[in-house]
Amino acid sequence: MPELPEVETIRRDLHKHILNKKIVHVDNRSTYVTRYDTAEGFGAAVQGASIEAIDRIGKLLIFQFIESPNAVLCHLRMTGQLIYRTEDASLGGGHSLSKTKKILPHQHTRMIFTFEDGSKLFFNDSRQFGYFKLIQKEQLGEVYKKFGIEPLTKEYTFDNFVQALKGKQRSVKAVMLDQGVLAGFGNIYVDETCFAAGVLPDRLVTSLTEEEMKKLFEEGQRIIALAIEQRGTTFNNYVDGKGKKGNFVRLLHVYQRKGKPCFVCGATIQKITVAQRGTHFCLCCQV
C-alpha cells in the first residue's frame, strides 16, 4: 500500500532514471486506468513528450513535460506499481534479469511507456484502482490546494498541525487518514504513529491533550522520515521504481502484528476497526 514514503521512494527512483527522457510510445492496456481521459487524448498528449519534472504531493505523483502545457497525475491507490527497466533488463533474455524479478509486462501491466533509448516504464496494478490523469500545468495549483499539511515540508509546524486538527469531531485515525488535513499518511503509518505517540487511534481528536498532540506531530514526522530512509514498507504489493521491496517492515511495531507481543511491554497487540480500517494498537502502551 503506497503511502507517502513509498511514493517518495518511487519518485526519487524515477527522477534518477527518466528525467529528460522522451516518450516515444504509450501502450495503454486498460482504458480503466485512464478513465478520466479518452485513450486517444491521453496517448496523443504524452507521446513525443519529454519528462521535465516528477513531483509529489501526499501520495500523488505529478509528471510535467518539457515545452508542453500538459502534466500527468498518477495515483497508485492500493496495488499500483511503477517499475523502470532498461531495454536490456526488460528483454529478460540475459542474466541481467534475476529469478526474483518478474518478467514484464505481465497480466497486471496496465500501461507501458517506452523511451527513446528503449528503456520502459511499466505500470502494474492488479486491482486497477490506480489511475493516470491528464491535466494542464496551470491547474496544478488547484491540485495542491486539496491537500493538507505534509510531513517534512516547511508548512509542517506544530502550530499548523494543531490548527488542522482543531474542531474535528472525529477519531485520531480518521483525521490522520484524511488527505485534506494531513497529506501522505495511510493505514500503516497512522497506526505506527499512534503507537509511538502512546495514543489510541479511536480517541476523539477533541480529547487530546497538548502533550499528546505534540507527540503525534513529532512521531508522525519522525516515522515518515525513517520510512523514507528505509525505502518504504512492503507488506505484500509495494515495490520501488526498480521493482525492489522496502525495508520498513522490520521496524513495524503494531501494523499487521495482531496477537503478537508488543516489543515494548509484551502485551498482546490488538486489532479493531476504526474509520472503516483495520487498526492495530497496544492497550498497555497507548492511552
Partner DNA sequence: CTTTCTGTTAGAAA
Partner DNA sequence: ATTTCTAACAGAAA
Choose between 128 and 247: whose C-beta lies nearer to DNA.
128
Choose between 152 and 265: whose C-beta lies nearer to DNA.
152
Chain contacts with DNA (rule: CB under 7 A): 1, 3, 32, 58-60, 75, 77-78, 107-108, 126-129, 167-171, 174, 177, 179, 186-188, 256, 273, 275-278
User: What's CA 149's distance to the chain center, in Å?
Assistant: 15
Least spacing, CB of residue 228 vs DNA, in Å: 16
For helices 210-229 and 4-18, the axis angle rounded to 10 degrees is 30
Q: What is the three-class DSSP state of 99? A: coil
Least spacing, CB of residue 175 vs DNA, in Å: 8
Supply the DSSP symbol for 252.
-
Least spacing, CB of residue 49 vs DNA, in Å: 24
Distance CA 159, CA 100 (A): 46
Is the distance from CB of 225 to CB of 248 less than 8 angstroms? no
Choose between 24 and 226: whose C-beta lies nearer to DNA.
226
Least spacing, CB of residue 155 vs DNA, in Å: 18
Distance CA 281, CA 287 (A): 10
Q: Which of 227, 157, 154, 230 is nearest to 196 (CA)?
A: 227
Q: Is the dihedral of CA 19, 129, 144, 37 positive or negative?
A: positive
Choose between 23 and 33: whose C-beta lies nearer to DNA.
33
Q: Give me the active site residues, please.
A: 2-3, 59, 277
Whether omega before 105 lies within 30 degrees of 0, making that bond cis, reads yes
